[in-house]
Amino acid sequence: MHKKYSAALLLSGFIASSLALGAGTDATTTQEELVRRTQELFDAVVPGNQEPWKKYYADDCLFADEKGRQMDKTKLLADISPMPKGYSGAIKVVNPASRIIGDTAILSYDCDETETVFGQHLTARYHGTDTWLRRNGTWQIVASQTMRYYEDPAIGRSDPAKFPEFSGVYELAEGQTRKVFAESGGLFVERKGKREQLFPESSDIFFRKGVEGRILFRTGNDGKVDALIDRRNNEDIIWQKETS
């Protein structure tokens, strides 16, 4: 009787598993499977294939892209269209990490993008985090957010003859100053003992490596530099140049 009972349980489990597979349900998932599905999504971007996006994104999903756009599934699908003529590219999922707990799975990963625009090659790096939820036996993405990694602009040409015009002490408020000076052919800014080199994006626009934003030097009506502008996200912090 015991052997017959065990056999009946095994048969019952096999039937249940078969029914689940026939219904397209996912009893469990793995990081490898989530990465495979995510890569399938990105492979569908260039041809504008919406089918994987319809399949793997829940109807009530929340999606935020690297541009800050907030989309539901309808808007997300409408954004998936073939790349225009003359454009091509690919997105590869790399450096995945996951947390899978019960019916919830979080996949975090980098995206390496390559794009060709009429023969000119571009690259970009993004980071994405997707929350997968198993409902009714099926894993789907309910929330997704993407950010783009910051990258310094290309170094342009500067005119060292202008460096003496930029040099001086700039004041933000009482006791809050920074010094700009030229040294060994380069331009530097120093505040409270911390020295950073200013790299030119153009002759009058500079940046600090690894720091988002730009440093600009403003010229007054008399043609002389009267302020340093610390521009971040299109907002300016103005440091007035001290007069001797």
| Max Cα–Cα distance, the chain, nearest Å | 104
Regarding whether 172 and 121 lie in a shared domain, the answer is: no
Q: Which residue has the higher pLDDT, 13 or 216?
A: 216
Do 192 and 177 contact (CB within 8 A), yes or no? Answer: no
Angstrom CA distances, 11 to 2, 14, 15, 173, stand at: 14, 5, 6, 79
Identify whether 13 is part of a domain: no
Distant-in-sequence, close-in-space partners of 243: CB < 8 Å, separation ≥ 6: none
Per-residue pLDDT reduced to its tens digit, 108-137? 999 999 999 999 999 999 999 999 999 999
Q: Indicate whether 138 and 204 sit together in one domain.
A: no
CATH of the domain at 230: 2.40.128.50
pLDDT given at position 5: 42
Tokens of 36: 């495979």
Q: How far apart, in whole angstroms, are the C-alpha atoms of residue 186 and residue 200? A: 10
pLDDT for position 27? 75
Please compute the mean of the pLDDT values over residues 144-150 and round it to a whole number: 95
Distance CA 27, CA 141 (A): 16
CA 116, CA 188: separation in Å to the nearest integer? 36
In the block, which residue shows the tokens 């980071």? 127
Instruction: Give me the residue label for tokens 């600090």.
Output: 208
Question: Which of 149, 148, 157, 154 is closest to 202 using CA atoms?
Answer: 157
pTM for the structure as a whole: 0.75
**How far is the C-alpha of 43 from the C-alpha of 61, rounded, in Å?**
20
Structural domain span for residue 196: 160-241
| 153 domain-assigned | no
The per-residue pLDDT for 9 is 39
Which residues, at least 6 apart from 26, have a Cβ–Cβ distance to it below 8 Å? 134, 137, 138, 139
Q: Are residue 187 and residue 221 in the same domain, yes or no?
A: yes
Mean pLDDT of 40-47: 96
pLDDT of residue 25: 56
Q: How far apart are CA 81 and CA 43, in angstroms?
A: 12
Distance between CA atoms of residues 58 and 143, nearest Å = 9
Domain count, the chain: 2
pLDDT in tens, 58-106: 999 999 999 999 999 999 999 999 999 999 999 999 999 999 999 999 9
Q: Are residues 118 and 190 in the same domain?
A: no
The answer on 217 and 139 residing in a single domain is: no
| Domain CATH for 137 | 3.10.450.50
C-alpha to C-alpha distance for 170 and 226, rounded to whole angstroms: 9
Q: Do 135 and 30 fall into the same domain?
A: yes
The dihedral sign for the CA sequence 210, 213, 214, 215: negative
pLDDT tens readout for residues 186-242: 999 999 999 999 999 988 899 999 999 999 999 999 989 999 999 998 899 999 999
